[in-house]
A and B are shown apart, each in its own frame.
Chain A
Protein backbone atom coordinates (compact mmCIF):
# COMPACT_ATOMS: atom_id res chain seq x y z
CA UNK A 1 0.00 0.00 0.00
CA UNK A 2 1.58 3.28 -1.10
CA UNK A 3 0.12 6.79 -1.18
CA UNK A 4 -3.55 5.83 -0.99
CA UNK A 5 -4.70 8.34 1.62
CA UNK A 6 -3.32 11.90 1.73
CA UNK A 7 -1.57 11.50 -1.62
CA UNK A 8 -4.31 9.51 -3.38
CA UNK A 9 -4.59 12.15 -6.08
CA UNK A 10 -0.88 12.00 -6.90
CA UNK A 11 0.76 9.75 -9.53
CA UNK A 12 1.59 6.33 -8.07
CA UNK A 13 5.17 6.53 -9.21
CA UNK A 14 6.87 8.74 -6.65
CA UNK A 15 9.80 9.46 -8.95
CA UNK A 16 7.43 11.38 -11.24
CA UNK A 17 6.63 13.94 -8.55
CA UNK A 18 8.69 16.61 -10.24
CA UNK A 19 7.37 20.05 -11.10
CA UNK A 20 7.03 19.28 -14.79
CA UNK A 21 4.87 16.15 -14.40
CA UNK A 22 2.78 17.60 -11.60
CA UNK A 23 2.10 20.75 -13.61
CA UNK A 24 0.67 18.58 -16.37
CA UNK A 25 -1.48 16.50 -14.02
CA UNK A 26 -2.78 19.54 -12.08
CA UNK A 27 -3.64 17.32 -9.14
CA UNK A 28 -4.63 20.35 -7.06
CA UNK A 29 -7.75 21.18 -9.06
CA UNK A 30 -11.32 20.38 -8.11
CA UNK A 31 -11.64 18.30 -11.26
CA UNK A 32 -8.67 16.10 -10.35
CA UNK A 33 -9.91 15.71 -6.79
CA UNK A 34 -13.41 14.76 -7.87
CA UNK A 35 -11.94 12.17 -10.24
CA UNK A 36 -10.60 10.21 -7.25
CA UNK A 37 -13.93 10.44 -5.39
CA UNK A 38 -13.33 13.77 -3.71
CA UNK A 39 -16.17 15.51 -1.82
CA UNK A 40 -18.38 12.39 -2.02
CA UNK A 41 -18.14 11.97 1.74
CA UNK A 42 -19.01 15.61 2.34
CA UNK A 43 -21.98 15.43 -0.05
CA UNK A 44 -23.22 12.29 1.72
CA UNK A 45 -22.92 13.86 5.18
CA UNK A 46 -24.93 16.89 4.04
CA UNK A 47 -27.50 14.78 2.18
CA UNK A 48 -28.05 12.26 4.97
CA UNK A 49 -27.59 14.72 7.84
CA UNK A 50 -25.15 12.29 9.45
CA UNK A 51 -25.15 12.75 13.24
CA UNK A 52 -21.81 14.32 14.28
CA UNK A 53 -21.34 11.68 16.98
CA UNK A 54 -21.33 8.97 14.29
CA UNK A 55 -18.41 10.66 12.55
CA UNK A 56 -16.44 10.92 15.78
CA UNK A 57 -17.25 7.27 16.57
CA UNK A 58 -15.88 6.20 13.19
CA UNK A 59 -12.68 8.17 13.75
CA UNK A 60 -12.22 6.51 17.12
CA UNK A 61 -12.71 3.14 15.48
CA UNK A 62 -10.14 3.96 12.79
CA UNK A 63 -7.42 4.45 15.47
CA UNK A 64 -6.27 7.60 13.65
CA UNK A 65 -3.68 9.41 15.77
CA UNK A 66 -2.37 12.94 15.42
CA UNK A 67 0.22 13.08 12.65
CA UNK A 68 1.89 16.31 13.74
CA UNK A 69 4.14 14.56 16.21
CA UNK A 70 2.33 13.87 19.47
CA UNK A 71 0.21 10.97 18.21
CA UNK A 72 -2.87 11.85 20.27
CA UNK A 73 -5.99 9.86 19.21
CA UNK A 74 -7.92 12.16 16.87
CA UNK A 75 -11.46 10.87 17.58
CA UNK A 76 -10.89 11.38 21.29
CA UNK A 77 -9.58 14.91 20.69
CA UNK A 78 -12.67 15.78 18.66
CA UNK A 79 -14.92 14.44 21.42
CA UNK A 80 -13.42 16.95 23.88
CA UNK A 81 -15.16 19.83 22.14
CA UNK A 82 -18.27 20.91 24.06
CA UNK A 83 -21.23 19.90 21.86
CA UNK A 84 -23.47 22.86 22.70
CA UNK A 85 -22.53 26.38 23.53
CA UNK A 86 -24.85 28.86 25.23
CA UNK A 87 -25.57 32.05 23.34
CA UNK A 88 -23.66 33.08 20.27
CA UNK A 89 -20.35 31.51 21.25
CA UNK A 90 -18.25 30.35 18.31
CA UNK A 91 -16.16 27.20 18.11
CA UNK A 92 -13.14 26.91 15.85
CA UNK A 93 -11.23 24.25 13.96
CA UNK A 94 -7.62 25.06 13.18
CA UNK A 95 -5.40 23.21 10.78
CA UNK A 96 -1.77 23.36 11.80
CA UNK A 97 0.09 23.76 8.50
CA UNK A 98 3.14 25.38 10.05
CA UNK A 99 5.38 22.52 8.94
CA UNK A 100 8.84 23.47 10.22
CA UNK A 101 10.27 20.42 11.99
CA UNK A 102 13.63 19.68 10.35
CA UNK A 103 13.37 16.51 8.28
CA UNK A 104 9.61 16.93 7.70
CA UNK A 105 8.10 17.95 4.36
CA UNK A 106 4.88 15.93 4.04
CA UNK A 107 2.31 18.67 4.64
CA UNK A 108 3.77 20.97 1.99
CA UNK A 109 3.02 18.25 -0.58
CA UNK A 110 -0.57 17.90 0.64
CA UNK A 111 -1.14 21.68 0.64
CA UNK A 112 0.41 22.13 -2.81
CA UNK A 113 -0.90 19.07 -4.59
CA UNK A 114 -4.05 17.90 -2.81
CA UNK A 115 -5.53 20.99 -1.12
CA UNK A 116 -9.14 19.99 -1.75
CA UNK A 117 -8.79 16.90 0.42
CA UNK A 118 -7.59 19.08 3.26
CA UNK A 119 -10.57 21.40 2.74
CA UNK A 120 -12.96 18.45 2.74
CA UNK A 121 -11.34 17.21 5.94
CA UNK A 122 -11.70 20.63 7.55
CA UNK A 123 -15.37 20.82 6.54
CA UNK A 124 -16.02 17.42 8.09
CA UNK A 125 -14.11 18.44 11.23
CA UNK A 126 -16.13 21.65 11.56
CA UNK A 127 -19.38 19.75 11.04
CA UNK A 128 -18.49 16.99 13.53
CA UNK A 129 -17.51 19.47 16.24
CA UNK A 130 -20.18 22.07 15.53
CA UNK A 131 -17.73 24.78 14.45
CA UNK A 132 -18.85 27.32 11.89
CA UNK A 133 -15.40 28.65 11.10
CA UNK A 134 -12.11 26.92 10.29
CA UNK A 135 -8.66 28.38 9.68
CA UNK A 136 -5.79 26.72 7.86
CA UNK A 137 -2.65 28.44 9.12
CA UNK A 138 0.49 27.93 7.02
CA UNK A 139 4.03 29.05 7.63
CA UNK A 140 4.80 32.25 5.76
CA UNK A 141 7.41 30.63 3.54
CA UNK A 142 4.70 28.42 2.00
CA UNK A 143 4.04 30.72 -0.93
CA UNK A 144 3.01 28.14 -3.52
CA UNK A 145 1.05 26.01 -1.02
CA UNK A 146 -0.82 29.11 0.17
CA UNK A 147 -1.77 30.10 -3.38
CA UNK A 148 -2.91 26.58 -4.19
CA UNK A 149 -5.05 26.46 -1.03
CA UNK A 150 -6.59 29.84 -1.89
CA UNK A 151 -7.40 28.67 -5.40
CA UNK A 152 -8.91 25.44 -4.03
CA UNK A 153 -11.01 27.42 -1.57
CA UNK A 154 -12.33 29.60 -4.41
CA UNK A 155 -13.24 26.51 -6.43
CA UNK A 156 -14.89 24.78 -3.48
CA UNK A 157 -16.87 27.90 -2.61
CA UNK A 158 -18.12 28.24 -6.19
CA UNK A 159 -19.13 24.58 -6.18
CA UNK A 160 -21.17 25.17 -3.04
CA UNK A 161 -19.11 22.96 -0.70
CA UNK A 162 -18.05 25.86 1.54
CA UNK A 163 -19.90 28.94 2.76
CA UNK A 164 -23.52 29.66 3.61
CA UNK A 165 -26.19 26.97 3.15
CA UNK A 166 -23.82 24.32 1.84
CA UNK A 167 -25.33 22.34 -1.09
CA UNK A 168 -28.72 23.88 -0.30
CA UNK A 169 -28.78 22.64 3.31
CA UNK A 170 -28.98 24.65 6.52
CA UNK A 171 -25.30 23.92 7.23
CA UNK A 172 -22.99 26.96 6.94
CA UNK A 173 -19.23 26.75 7.39
CA UNK A 174 -16.65 29.39 6.50
CA UNK A 175 -13.06 28.36 5.85
CA UNK A 176 -10.03 30.66 5.58
CA UNK A 177 -6.38 30.22 4.70
CA UNK A 178 -3.90 32.28 6.67
CA UNK A 179 -0.12 32.57 6.93
CA UNK A 180 2.50 33.48 9.52
CA UNK A 181 5.78 35.21 8.72
CA UNK A 182 7.92 32.19 9.56
CA UNK A 183 8.76 30.89 13.04
CA UNK A 184 9.12 27.25 14.12
CA UNK A 185 7.31 27.80 17.42
CA UNK A 186 4.07 28.63 15.58
CA UNK A 187 3.67 24.86 15.15
CA UNK A 188 3.04 24.60 18.89
CA UNK A 189 -0.75 24.66 19.10
CA UNK A 190 -1.17 27.50 21.57
CA UNK A 191 1.51 29.58 19.81
CA UNK A 192 -0.40 28.94 16.59
CA UNK A 193 -3.51 30.49 18.14
CA UNK A 194 -1.55 33.54 19.30
CA UNK A 195 -0.05 33.88 15.81
CA UNK A 196 -3.52 33.84 14.28
CA UNK A 197 -4.69 36.41 16.81
CA UNK A 198 -1.94 38.72 15.56
CA UNK A 199 0.02 38.50 18.80
CA UNK A 200 3.60 37.50 19.43
CA UNK A 201 3.39 33.71 19.06
CA UNK A 202 4.53 32.67 22.51
CA UNK A 203 3.05 29.38 23.69
CA UNK A 204 0.37 29.60 26.37
CA UNK A 205 0.09 27.71 29.61
CA UNK A 206 -2.03 24.54 29.53
CA UNK A 207 -4.52 24.21 31.18
CA UNK A 208 -6.74 25.75 30.06
CA UNK A 209 -6.70 23.46 27.06
CA UNK A 210 -7.77 24.73 23.64
CA UNK A 211 -10.98 22.65 23.68
CA UNK A 212 -12.17 24.93 26.49
CA UNK A 213 -10.23 28.15 25.95
CA UNK A 214 -8.67 28.40 22.52
CA UNK A 215 -8.67 30.90 19.69
CA UNK A 216 -9.99 34.23 21.05
CA UNK A 217 -10.89 32.31 24.21
CA UNK A 218 -13.40 30.06 22.41
CA UNK A 219 -13.42 26.23 22.23
CA UNK A 220 -10.93 25.23 19.55
CA UNK A 221 -9.52 22.01 18.12
CA UNK A 222 -6.16 22.03 16.38
CA UNK A 223 -5.09 19.18 14.12
CA UNK A 224 -2.14 18.64 11.85
CA UNK A 225 -2.59 18.88 8.07
CA UNK A 226 -1.97 15.17 7.46
CA UNK A 227 -4.43 14.21 10.21
CA UNK A 228 -7.24 16.31 8.74
CA UNK A 229 -6.46 15.27 5.17
CA UNK A 230 -6.76 11.60 6.22
CA UNK A 231 -10.35 12.00 7.41
CA UNK A 232 -12.25 11.99 4.06
CA UNK A 233 -10.55 8.75 2.97
CA UNK A 234 -11.17 7.09 6.32
CA UNK A 235 -14.89 7.86 6.09
CA UNK A 236 -15.03 6.87 2.43
CA UNK A 237 -13.28 3.53 2.69
CA UNK A 238 -14.37 2.77 6.23
CA UNK A 239 -12.82 2.93 9.67
CA UNK A 240 -12.07 -0.80 9.60
CA UNK A 241 -10.22 -0.55 6.30
CA UNK A 242 -8.02 2.20 7.70
CA UNK A 243 -7.47 0.59 11.09
CA UNK A 244 -6.73 -2.73 9.38
CA UNK A 245 -3.90 -1.18 7.41
CA UNK A 246 -1.95 -0.43 10.58
CA UNK A 247 -1.39 -2.13 13.90
CA UNK A 248 -3.79 -2.45 16.80
CA UNK A 249 -2.66 0.76 18.49
CA UNK A 250 -1.39 2.63 15.44
CA UNK A 251 -4.16 2.63 12.85
CA UNK A 252 -3.81 3.27 9.16
CA UNK A 253 -1.09 4.78 7.08
CA UNK A 254 1.44 7.49 7.78
CA UNK A 255 3.65 9.60 5.57
CA UNK A 256 7.37 9.14 6.10
CA UNK A 257 9.63 11.82 4.67
CA UNK A 258 12.84 9.98 3.87
CA UNK A 259 15.77 12.37 3.47
CA UNK A 260 19.53 12.23 3.73
CA UNK A 261 21.86 9.53 2.42
CA UNK A 262 19.42 7.40 0.40
CA UNK A 263 19.13 6.84 -3.34
CA UNK A 264 15.48 7.82 -3.66
CA UNK A 265 14.55 10.37 -1.03
CA UNK A 266 10.82 10.97 -1.00
CA UNK A 267 7.51 11.04 0.84
CA UNK A 268 6.28 7.49 1.32
CA UNK A 269 2.78 7.04 2.71
CA UNK A 270 2.78 3.48 3.99
CA UNK A 271 1.01 1.26 6.54
CA UNK A 272 2.02 1.85 10.13
CA UNK A 273 3.92 -1.14 11.43
CA UNK A 274 5.96 -1.56 8.24
CA UNK A 275 9.53 -2.59 9.07
CA UNK A 276 12.02 0.24 8.62
CA UNK A 277 14.11 -2.05 6.43
CA UNK A 278 11.27 -2.16 3.89
CA UNK A 279 10.97 1.64 3.84
CA UNK A 280 14.72 1.92 3.29
CA UNK A 281 14.39 -0.46 0.38
CA UNK A 282 11.55 1.60 -1.13
CA UNK A 283 13.81 4.64 -0.82
CA UNK A 284 16.34 2.86 -2.99
CA UNK A 285 18.67 1.83 -0.19
CA UNK A 286 21.75 3.67 1.00
CA UNK A 287 23.50 6.03 -1.38
CA UNK A 288 26.72 4.63 -2.86
CA UNK A 289 26.03 1.35 -1.08
CA UNK A 290 27.29 2.91 2.17
CA UNK A 291 26.57 1.46 5.60
CA UNK A 292 23.65 2.89 7.60
CA UNK A 293 24.96 4.64 10.69
CA UNK A 294 21.96 6.27 12.32
CA UNK A 295 18.42 7.53 11.80
CA UNK A 296 16.52 10.44 13.32
CA UNK A 297 13.09 8.81 13.05
CA UNK A 298 10.49 11.48 13.71
CA UNK A 299 11.78 14.93 12.92
CA UNK A 300 14.77 16.55 14.56
CA UNK A 301 13.27 16.71 18.05
CA UNK A 302 13.28 12.95 18.45
CA UNK A 303 16.33 11.05 19.73
CA UNK A 304 18.63 9.49 17.14
CA UNK A 305 18.60 5.68 16.76
CA UNK A 306 21.70 3.67 15.71
CA UNK A 307 21.39 1.99 12.32
CA UNK A 308 21.49 -1.62 13.53
CA UNK A 309 18.66 -0.96 16.02
CA UNK A 310 16.66 0.88 13.37
CA UNK A 311 16.94 -2.03 10.95
CA UNK A 312 15.01 -4.14 13.50
CA UNK A 313 12.41 -1.47 14.21
CA UNK A 314 8.82 -1.48 12.99
CA UNK A 315 7.44 1.92 12.05
CA UNK A 316 4.55 2.45 14.43
CA UNK A 317 4.22 4.58 17.56
CA UNK A 318 5.04 1.68 19.88
CA UNK A 319 7.80 0.16 17.77
CA UNK A 320 9.85 3.34 17.53
CA UNK A 321 9.32 3.98 21.23
CA UNK A 322 10.69 0.52 22.05
CA UNK A 323 13.80 1.47 20.09
CA UNK A 324 14.30 4.50 22.33
CA UNK A 325 12.79 7.29 20.29
CA UNK A 326 9.44 8.46 18.95
CA UNK A 327 7.65 8.34 15.61
CA UNK A 328 6.98 12.08 15.85
CA UNK A 329 6.22 13.73 12.53
CA UNK A 330 7.60 10.87 10.45
CA UNK A 331 10.54 12.91 9.22
CA UNK A 332 13.25 10.27 8.76
CA UNK A 333 16.76 11.63 8.42
CA UNK A 334 19.03 8.83 7.21
CA UNK A 335 22.74 9.07 7.89
CA UNK A 336 25.52 6.89 6.53
CA UNK A 337 28.84 5.94 8.10
CA UNK A 338 30.59 9.08 6.83
CA UNK A 339 28.38 11.33 8.99
CA UNK A 340 29.96 13.18 11.92
CA UNK A 341 27.36 12.92 14.67
CA UNK A 342 28.85 15.86 16.57
CA UNK A 343 28.37 18.07 13.50
CA UNK A 344 24.75 16.95 13.18
CA UNK A 345 24.06 17.52 16.88
CA UNK A 346 25.76 20.92 16.73
CA UNK A 347 23.69 21.99 13.71
CA UNK A 348 20.46 20.91 15.39
CA UNK A 349 21.35 22.80 18.56
CA UNK A 350 21.80 25.96 16.46
CA UNK A 351 18.27 25.44 15.16
CA UNK A 352 16.81 25.23 18.67
CA UNK A 353 18.75 28.27 19.84
CA UNK A 354 17.44 30.25 16.88
CA UNK A 355 13.85 29.11 17.31
CA UNK A 356 13.45 29.43 21.09
CA UNK A 357 10.72 32.04 21.58
CA UNK A 358 12.57 33.37 24.62
CA UNK A 359 9.62 33.28 26.98
CA UNK A 360 11.05 30.77 29.51
CA UNK A 361 14.53 31.35 30.88
CA UNK A 362 15.67 27.68 30.94
CA UNK A 363 14.97 27.39 27.21
CA UNK A 364 16.14 30.85 26.11
CA UNK A 365 19.44 30.62 28.00
CA UNK A 366 19.84 26.84 27.94
CA UNK A 367 19.52 26.56 24.17
CA UNK A 368 22.45 28.96 23.79
CA UNK A 369 24.51 27.04 26.37
CA UNK A 370 23.85 23.79 24.53
CA UNK A 371 24.89 25.33 21.20
CA UNK A 372 28.06 26.90 22.56
CA UNK A 373 29.10 23.67 24.28
CA UNK A 374 28.44 21.76 21.06
CA UNK A 375 30.62 24.22 19.13
CA UNK A 376 33.41 23.97 21.69
CA UNK A 377 33.32 20.17 21.57
CA UNK A 378 33.27 20.02 17.78
CA UNK A 379 36.18 22.45 17.57
CA UNK A 380 38.17 20.50 20.17
CA UNK A 381 38.23 23.46 22.56
CA UNK A 382 36.29 21.64 25.28
CA UNK A 383 37.28 19.53 28.27
CA UNK A 384 36.02 16.01 28.86
CA UNK A 385 33.90 17.30 31.74
CA UNK A 386 32.03 19.48 29.24
CA UNK A 387 30.24 16.41 27.91
CA UNK A 388 28.55 15.90 31.25
CA UNK A 389 27.99 19.63 31.51
CA UNK A 390 26.21 19.48 28.15
CA UNK A 391 23.98 16.67 29.38
CA UNK A 392 23.28 18.52 32.62
CA UNK A 393 22.34 21.76 30.88
CA UNK A 394 20.00 19.89 28.54
CA UNK A 395 18.45 17.98 31.44
CA UNK A 396 17.80 21.24 33.29
CA UNK A 397 15.73 22.58 30.41
CA UNK A 398 13.52 19.51 30.13
CA UNK A 399 10.23 19.81 32.00
CA UNK A 400 10.89 23.39 33.10
CA UNK A 401 9.27 25.27 30.25
CA UNK A 402 5.74 26.28 29.28
CA UNK A 403 5.72 24.17 26.11
CA UNK A 404 7.48 21.00 24.94
CA UNK A 405 10.16 22.95 23.08
CA UNK A 406 12.30 22.33 26.16
CA UNK A 407 12.03 18.59 25.56
CA UNK A 408 12.79 19.13 21.87
CA UNK A 409 16.15 20.67 22.85
CA UNK A 410 16.96 18.06 25.48
CA UNK A 411 15.94 14.77 23.87
CA UNK A 412 18.22 14.93 20.83
CA UNK A 413 21.19 15.84 23.08
CA UNK A 414 20.45 12.84 25.29
CA UNK A 415 20.11 10.58 22.24
CA UNK A 416 23.39 11.65 20.64
CA UNK A 417 25.29 11.28 23.92
CA UNK A 418 23.73 7.91 24.66
CA UNK A 419 24.70 6.30 21.37
CA UNK A 420 27.63 8.36 20.05
CA UNK A 421 29.42 9.69 23.12
CA UNK A 422 32.68 8.27 21.77
CA UNK A 423 32.53 10.73 18.86
CA UNK A 424 32.18 13.67 21.24
CA UNK A 425 35.16 12.34 23.23
CA UNK A 426 37.19 11.89 20.06
CA UNK A 427 36.62 15.52 19.06
CA UNK A 428 37.90 16.70 22.44
CA UNK A 429 40.91 14.34 22.39
CA UNK A 430 41.85 15.53 18.94
CA UNK A 431 42.41 19.05 20.26
CA UNK A 432 41.67 22.42 18.68
CA UNK A 433 40.85 22.48 14.99
CA UNK A 434 39.08 24.70 12.55
CA UNK A 435 35.66 23.42 11.64
CA UNK A 436 34.29 24.45 8.28
CA UNK A 437 30.62 25.44 8.51
Chain B
Protein backbone atom coordinates (compact mmCIF):
# COMPACT_ATOMS: atom_id res chain seq x y z
CA UNK B 1 0.00 0.00 0.00
CA UNK B 2 1.42 3.37 -0.98
CA UNK B 3 1.82 6.31 1.37
CA UNK B 4 -1.51 8.14 1.62
CA UNK B 5 -0.02 11.08 3.57
CA UNK B 6 -2.57 10.68 6.35
CA UNK B 7 -5.58 10.36 4.03
CA UNK B 8 -7.80 7.33 4.33
CA UNK B 9 -7.28 4.61 1.75
CA UNK B 10 -10.70 5.34 0.27
CA UNK B 11 -10.11 9.09 -0.19
CA UNK B 12 -6.69 8.35 -1.65
CA UNK B 13 -8.18 5.94 -4.15
CA UNK B 14 -10.88 8.45 -5.15
CA UNK B 15 -8.08 10.91 -5.91
CA UNK B 16 -6.21 8.22 -7.86
CA UNK B 17 -9.29 7.53 -10.02
CA UNK B 18 -9.71 11.24 -10.76
CA UNK B 19 -6.04 11.80 -11.58
CA UNK B 20 -6.48 9.34 -14.45
CA UNK B 21 -9.13 11.58 -16.01
CA UNK B 22 -6.54 14.29 -16.58
CA UNK B 23 -3.35 14.50 -18.64
CA UNK B 24 -0.06 13.55 -17.12
CA UNK B 25 1.27 16.14 -14.72
CA UNK B 26 -2.17 17.65 -14.13
CA UNK B 27 -2.96 15.82 -10.88
CA UNK B 28 -3.95 19.12 -9.34
CA UNK B 29 -7.27 18.84 -11.17
CA UNK B 30 -8.20 16.04 -8.76
CA UNK B 31 -8.20 18.42 -5.80
CA UNK B 32 -11.95 19.09 -6.00
CA UNK B 33 -12.89 15.43 -5.98
CA UNK B 34 -10.43 14.85 -3.13
CA UNK B 35 -11.96 17.63 -1.04
CA UNK B 36 -15.45 16.25 -1.64
CA UNK B 37 -14.54 12.69 -0.74
CA UNK B 38 -12.62 13.73 2.38
CA UNK B 39 -15.40 16.04 3.56
CA UNK B 40 -18.05 13.35 3.13
CA UNK B 41 -15.90 10.87 5.00
CA UNK B 42 -15.31 13.33 7.83
CA UNK B 43 -19.02 13.80 8.51
CA UNK B 44 -19.50 16.90 6.37
CA UNK B 45 -16.65 19.28 7.08
CA UNK B 46 -12.98 19.82 6.30
CA UNK B 47 -10.13 20.49 8.72
CA UNK B 48 -6.75 22.10 8.07
CA UNK B 49 -5.16 18.71 8.61
CA UNK B 50 -7.31 17.08 5.96
CA UNK B 51 -6.51 19.83 3.47
CA UNK B 52 -2.80 19.59 4.24
CA UNK B 53 -2.97 15.84 3.68
CA UNK B 54 -4.73 16.29 0.34
CA UNK B 55 -2.06 18.80 -0.67
CA UNK B 56 0.74 16.43 0.35
CA UNK B 57 -0.86 13.51 -1.46
CA UNK B 58 -1.36 15.44 -4.70
CA UNK B 59 1.96 17.25 -4.36
CA UNK B 60 0.79 20.84 -3.94
CA UNK B 61 1.60 23.56 -1.41
CA UNK B 62 -1.13 23.42 1.26
CA UNK B 63 -2.09 27.05 0.60
CA UNK B 64 -3.24 26.12 -2.91
CA UNK B 65 -5.70 23.60 -1.52
CA UNK B 66 -6.91 26.10 1.13
CA UNK B 67 -7.53 28.78 -1.48
CA UNK B 68 -9.55 26.45 -3.67
CA UNK B 69 -11.59 25.00 -0.79
CA UNK B 70 -12.34 28.39 0.72
CA UNK B 71 -13.78 29.59 -2.58
CA UNK B 72 -16.59 27.08 -2.81
CA UNK B 73 -19.99 27.05 -1.13
CA UNK B 74 -20.10 23.30 -0.61
CA UNK B 75 -16.95 23.21 1.52
CA UNK B 76 -17.62 23.41 5.25
CA UNK B 77 -14.93 24.27 7.78
CA UNK B 78 -16.81 23.72 11.02
CA UNK B 79 -18.68 20.64 12.21
CA UNK B 80 -22.21 20.63 10.82
CA UNK B 81 -25.35 18.66 11.51
CA UNK B 82 -25.99 15.17 10.28
CA UNK B 83 -28.37 16.70 7.75
CA UNK B 84 -27.48 19.93 6.01
CA UNK B 85 -30.67 21.51 4.68
CA UNK B 86 -29.85 24.01 1.94
CA UNK B 87 -32.91 26.15 1.29
CA UNK B 88 -32.95 28.27 -1.85
CA UNK B 89 -34.24 31.79 -1.21
CA UNK B 90 -33.38 33.31 -4.58
CA UNK B 91 -36.05 35.10 -6.61
CA UNK B 92 -38.00 32.21 -8.19
CA UNK B 93 -38.23 30.43 -4.82
CA UNK B 94 -38.95 33.70 -3.03
CA UNK B 95 -41.89 34.39 -5.35
CA UNK B 96 -43.23 30.93 -4.58
CA UNK B 97 -43.03 31.18 -0.80
CA UNK B 98 -39.53 30.25 0.36
CA UNK B 99 -40.05 32.72 3.25
CA UNK B 100 -42.72 30.45 4.69
CA UNK B 101 -40.39 27.44 4.36
CA UNK B 102 -37.56 29.27 6.12
CA UNK B 103 -39.92 30.45 8.88
CA UNK B 104 -41.29 26.99 9.36
CA UNK B 105 -37.84 25.35 9.54
CA UNK B 106 -36.52 27.95 11.97
CA UNK B 107 -39.56 27.59 14.21
CA UNK B 108 -39.69 23.82 14.21
CA UNK B 109 -35.95 23.32 14.70
CA UNK B 110 -35.45 26.26 17.04
CA UNK B 111 -32.41 27.60 15.18
CA UNK B 112 -31.80 30.36 12.66
CA UNK B 113 -30.48 30.03 9.14
CA UNK B 114 -26.76 29.19 9.28
CA UNK B 115 -27.05 27.46 12.67
CA UNK B 116 -27.01 23.83 13.80
CA UNK B 117 -29.49 22.24 16.20
CA UNK B 118 -28.10 21.36 19.62
CA UNK B 119 -28.55 17.65 19.06
CA UNK B 120 -26.32 17.94 15.99
CA UNK B 121 -29.08 16.68 13.72
CA UNK B 122 -29.74 19.62 11.37
CA UNK B 123 -27.83 22.57 9.93
CA UNK B 124 -29.84 25.21 8.09
CA UNK B 125 -28.33 26.96 5.08
CA UNK B 126 -29.79 29.86 3.13
CA UNK B 127 -28.38 29.20 -0.36
CA UNK B 128 -28.40 30.68 -3.85
CA UNK B 129 -30.22 29.25 -6.87
CA UNK B 130 -29.88 25.46 -7.17
CA UNK B 131 -31.49 25.25 -10.63
CA UNK B 132 -34.91 23.93 -9.66
CA UNK B 133 -36.78 27.19 -10.30
CA UNK B 134 -39.77 25.55 -12.00
CA UNK B 135 -40.41 23.43 -8.90
CA UNK B 136 -39.98 26.20 -6.34
CA UNK B 137 -39.69 26.40 -3.41
CA UNK B 138 -37.04 23.76 -2.85
CA UNK B 139 -34.29 22.51 -0.59
CA UNK B 140 -31.40 20.07 -0.91
CA UNK B 141 -30.29 17.60 1.75
CA UNK B 142 -26.53 17.08 2.21
CA UNK B 143 -25.80 18.40 -1.30
CA UNK B 144 -27.61 15.38 -2.74
CA UNK B 145 -31.36 14.82 -2.93
CA UNK B 146 -33.67 17.67 -3.93
CA UNK B 147 -37.07 18.24 -2.34
CA UNK B 148 -39.26 20.42 -4.48
CA UNK B 149 -42.62 22.23 -4.48
CA UNK B 150 -42.29 22.46 -0.71
CA UNK B 151 -45.05 23.35 1.72
CA UNK B 152 -44.69 23.57 5.52
CA UNK B 153 -46.53 20.22 5.63
CA UNK B 154 -44.16 18.48 3.21
CA UNK B 155 -41.22 19.91 5.14
CA UNK B 156 -42.61 18.26 8.29
CA UNK B 157 -42.91 14.92 6.51
CA UNK B 158 -39.28 15.23 5.37
CA UNK B 159 -37.98 16.19 8.81
CA UNK B 160 -39.85 13.32 10.46
CA UNK B 161 -38.42 10.89 7.94
CA UNK B 162 -34.86 12.12 8.44
CA UNK B 163 -35.19 11.95 12.22
CA UNK B 164 -36.53 8.40 11.98
CA UNK B 165 -33.75 7.45 9.57
CA UNK B 166 -31.12 8.83 11.97
CA UNK B 167 -32.63 6.96 14.92
CA UNK B 168 -32.77 3.66 13.09
CA UNK B 169 -29.18 4.12 11.96
CA UNK B 170 -27.86 4.57 15.49
Chain A interface residues toward B at CB < 8 A: 90, 99-105, 107-108, 133, 139-144, 176, 178-184, 195-201, 216, 257-261, 265-267, 296, 300, 331, 333, 335, 339, 343-344, 347-348, 351, 354-355, 357, 436-437
Contacts and interface: CB of A to CB of B under 8 A. Distances in A.
B21 A178 contact: yes
The 8 A-B residue pairs with the shortest CB-CB distance, nearest first, are A181-B72, A259-B133, A198-B28, A259-B92, A102-B129, A182-B73, A198-B31, A181-B74
Contacts, number: 142
B92 A102 contact: yes
Interface string B19-34: 0010100101111110
A328 B69 CA distance: 30
B145 interface: yes
Given A178-B21, A179-B33, 4 more contacts: A183-B72, A198-B32, A199-B64, A200-B68
A377 B29 CA distance: 44
B36 interface: yes
A151 to B, nearest CB: 16
Nearest to A345: B91
Interface string B127-139: 0111111111000
Contacts of A354: 128
Contacts of A184: 128
B143 interface: yes
A104 B36 contact: no
Interface in B86-127: 86, 89-92, 94-96, 99
Given A108-B131, A257-B133, A180 B143 contact: no
Question: In this complex, which of A99, A102, A335, A436 has the most chain B Cβ atoms within 10 angstroms of its Cβ?
Answer: A102
Contacts of A140: 32, 36, 72, 74, 143
Contacts of B75: 181
B35 interface: yes
Given A176-B21, A259-B92, A335-B95, A351 B129 contact: yes
Contacts of B86: 141
B128 A436 contact: no
A333 B91 contact: yes
A108 B134 CA distance: 11
A355 B71 CA distance: 10
B131 A107 contact: yes
B146 interface: yes
Given A102-B91, A141-B140, A143-B144, A198 B133 contact: no
B95 A199 contact: no
Contacts of A258: 134
A198 B29 contact: yes
Contacts of A197: 26, 28-29
A181 B132 contact: no
B164 to A, nearest CB: 21
A180 B32 contact: yes
Nearest to A343: B94
B67 interface: yes
Interface string B54-82: 00000000001001110111110000000
Contact of A201 (B71, B135, B136): B71
Nearest to B29: A198
A103 B92 contact: yes
A347 B89 contact: yes
Contact of B90 (A182, A216, A347): A347
Contacts of B145: 143-144
A144 B146 contact: yes
A436 B132 CA distance: 24
A349 to B, nearest CB: 11
Nearest to B18: A178
Contacts of A333: 91-92, 95, 133
A285 to B, nearest CB: 16
Given A140-B72, A141-B140, A181-B32, A296 B131 contact: no
5 contacts: A179-B36, A257-B134, A265-B134, A344-B91, A351-B128
Interface in B41-59: none
A147 B146 CA distance: 14
A25 to B, nearest CB: 18
B74 A348 contact: no
A260 B96 CA distance: 6
Nearest to B113: A437
A10 to B, nearest CB: 13
Contact of B73 (A183, A200, A348, A436): A183
Given A257-B134, A259-B136, A103 B29 contact: no
A269 to B, nearest CB: 13
B26 A216 contact: yes
A99 B131 contact: yes
Most A CB within 10 A of own CB, among B23, B69, B75, B99: B23
Contacts of B89: 347
Given A182-B74, A198-B28, A265-B134, A100 B129 contact: yes
Contact of A90 (B23, B33, B136): B23
A103 B95 contact: no
A115 to B, nearest CB: 15
Contacts of A180: 32, 72
Choose among B35, B134, B144 the residue with the greatest number of A CB atoms under 10 Å from its CB. B134
A354 B126 CA distance: 12
